[in-house]
Amino acid sequence: MQQGYRYRLTAPVGGGLHPDFHPDLTPETMLALGVFGGKYMTDCREEFPESWFRHARLAPGARNPSLNYFGVDASQPLSVWRAKGWIHPDDPRGWFQWYCRYFHGRRLPGEDERQIGRWKAMRRHVAQVRRYCEPGDTWCRRRQRQALLHWAYDGRKI
């Protein structure tokens, strides 16, 4: 947890999700598949269940895109996210930090709806993969599929 930040868990882990929010992947599954070059959660493990990290593909040093499921870099730097105003002060690492905390049971009225709206906007990438890739060719549009994994859509099954 970021230093000096506390929050209340008001929903069961993985339960009580917003009716419009149906992620394909849990944070634990995302970490095991390989997301964010293995660097995203290396400094806040104590905040979340140890089980989330048992099979996580984490980088011991710098971010390593080869740890991503599709082996490609599909991330923008955090500085871009900050410049675009996408970062909420309670979740300075961005959407995935929000999702981990939300899945864990934290609720932030207003912010939850904003982040769920951003998640829903990623569906356009699902449509693009379906349009441009042959069924069963999971390696077509790897960057786009990796980006979908970063947003809890299962890019392997599109």
- Over residues 42-99, the pLDDT tens digits come to 888 899 999 999 999 999 889 899 999 999 999 888 889 899 988 999 999 899 999 9
**Would you state the structure tokens that stand for residue 2, as one six-digit string?**
């970021």
Residue 14 in domain: no
Return the minimum-mean-pLDDT range out of 21-30, 37-46, 112-121: 37-46
How many C-alpha atoms does 92 have within 13 Å on its Cβ side? 6
Rounded to the nearest 10°, the torsion over CA 16, 21, 26, 31 is: -130
Q: Are 158 and 24 in contact (CB under 8 A)?
A: no
Residue 17 forms part of a structural domain: no
pLDDT at 39: 87
| Average pLDDT of every residue of the chain | 93
Residue 67 placed within a domain: yes
**Which domain range does residue 140 map to?**
27-150
10 residue type, one letter: T
pLDDT at residue 3, as a whole number: 59
On whether residue 58 sits in a domain, the answer given is yes
Q: Say how many domains are in the chain.
A: 1
Report the pLDDT value the prediction gives residue 40, as an integer from 0 to 100.
80
pTM: 0.93
18 part of a folded domain: no
Output the pLDDT for position 2: 55
Q: Residue 4 above 80 pLDDT?
A: no
What is the rounded CA–CA span in Å between residue 63 and residue 137?
Answer: 27
Q: Is residue 44 part of a domain?
A: yes
